Amino acid sequence: MSAAAPAVPAAADRLRRIGVIGAGQMGAGIAHVCALSGLEVVMTDRDDETARRGRETIERNLARQVARGRIREEDKQRAMARITVGADFALFGDCDMVIEAATEKEEIKREIFKQLTPRLRRDALIATNTSSISITRLAAATDRPEKFIGMHFMNPVPVMALVELIRGIATDEETFALTRDLALKLGKTPVAAEDYPAFIVNRILLPMINEAVYVLYEGVGSVEAIDTAMKLGANHPMGPLELADFIGLDTCLSVMQLLYEGLADSKYRPCPLLVKYVEAGWLGRKTGRGFYDYRGDKPVPTR
């Protein structure tokens, strides 16, 4: 009779201290849900001031949850006490897992992993929050591809329930199981996706947004008409152009370029108008202008 296979340790036992690289919208959101779930969190960014601002963002968002009755004041205080911030990757030395949530540019992520891995314990896991880049390729930039996984959170992280889990070709079963358990501990619903360009959500969502930009580009409808049509005609909570502004037009363009290059199919060609908006620096909400102008009391369509 063969011996039983050893049980895979639960995330509650193995993953107690989580590192987060990036204190922007996604990184701060990931740190927020980890700390609120009882995990110790270390969050870094390029300098101490940026990391500190990320911590302030978390505190404001937690306060909003308190005001809405979703958590208690003491929950907020305990969560904030679990968060350490800084700019030095040495802070990750005792982390069980580090989740990278930096800019969606492969060369930046690869450089981060090059600097990160020498500072980690040999048994530490690495996850990337990339929304589109090959997990296998990023894993190859580390010294532990078997302990590397895609953990793609949706934005805004404290609100959205989904997490896509993406194995690279070398990702081992223990890493996948631990990451899945962690997602569940954070109150998320994990789904497994294969390591193909843009995974599941963005493979479907971004071409729809790109098509909405084509509809605008070709003069079929105005910004307002397109968003109203999709909200009322397809029951979407947010129109595709409004959603593009929320995501960031630079991010939308990056994903479309990756799909176009990775799948070699003309249906993924980025709309020239999307390219022009990005060239103009009109990236959406984060820059004050995109398909809408956000600099006044209420958003106004720019076309």
Structure tokens at 112: 């981060």
What's the pLDDT tens digit per position in 183-239? 999 999 999 999 999 999 999 999 999 999 999 999 999 999 999 999 999 999 999
Distance CA 61, CA 103 (A): 22
pLDDT band, residue 1 (cuts 50/70/90): very low
Omega within 30 of 0 (cis) for the link into 207 = no
> Which CATH number does the domain 11-193 belong to among 3.40.50.720, 2.60.40.2380, 3.30.830.10, 3.30.390.50?
3.40.50.720
The backbone torsions φ and ψ at residue 86, rounded to the nearest 5 degrees and listed phi first, read: 175, -170
The pLDDT of residue 13: 77
Which residue numbers are catalytic?
131, 152, 164, 202
Structure tokens at 256: 């479309």
How far is C-alpha 118 from the chain's CA centre? 24
pTM for this one? 0.89
Distance CA 26, CA 63 (A): 18
Distance CA 267, CA 115 (A): 37
Please check the confidence at residue 2 and state whether its pLDDT lies above 90: no
How far is C-alpha 277 from the chain's CA centre? 22
What's the pLDDT tens digit per position in 256-275? 999 999 999 999 999 999 99
What's the pLDDT tens digit per position in 119-160? 999 999 999 999 989 999 999 999 999 999 999 999 999 999
The backbone torsions φ and ψ at residue 191, rounded to the nearest 5 degrees and listed phi first, read: -130, 140
Please check the confidence at residue 4 and state whether its pLDDT lies above 60: no
Distance CA 48, CA 41 (A): 16
Q: Where are the domains of the chain?
A: 11-193, 202-292
Contact 146, 176 (CB under 8 A): no
How confident is the prediction for the chain on average, in pLDDT? 95
Beta bridge partners of residue 300, listed in sequence order: 293
Q: Does domain 202-292 have CATH number 1.10.287.90?
A: no
* Nearest of 281, 18, 31 to residue 127 by alpha carbon: 18
What's the pLDDT tens digit per position in 32-73? 999 999 999 999 999 999 999 999 999 999 999 999 999 999
The pLDDT of residue 10: 61
Please check the confidence at residue 6 and state whether its pLDDT lies above 90: no
In our burial notation (b when 16+ CB lie closer than 10 A, e otherwise), range 56-84 reads: ebbbebbeebeeeeebeeebbeebbebbb
What's the pLDDT tens digit per position in 273-282? 999 999 999 9
Please check the confidence at residue 174 and state whether its pLDDT lies above 90: yes
